[in-house]
Amino acid sequence: MAEAVYHHGDQNIHEQVATYRLFGGLAKWGSLSVAVLVLMLVLWFCLGLGFLGGAIPGAVLTAVGVTFLRERSPSGQTTGHG
């Protein structure tokens, strides 16, 4: 019976890396989406500021969140993906 020999570092991990990056991206952007939705709904319904009273701060939070959560290359430039 032949046994498979394990060599540390020889396995292809591209699928695991892609899954890890996908999960991280979904968690990051999903958290921003939930935060914007909660802010808008609280301002709109709980404080009675109306739709625009919730939508304007929601848009501001979206813009700030996208600015800070974008992927950056090592040189500091934003990348076109992610």
Looking at the chain, the whole-number percentage of residues with pLDDT higher than 70 is 89
| Position 5 in a domain | no
| Domain count within the chain | 1
Q: CA Rg, the chain, in Å? A: 21
Confidence of residue 59 (pLDDT cuts 50, 70, 90): very high
Domain extent at residue 44: 27-64
Distance CA 25, CA 30 (A): 8
Which of 2-6, 22-26, 37-41, 68-72 has the lowest average pLDDT? 2-6
| Position 47 in a domain | yes
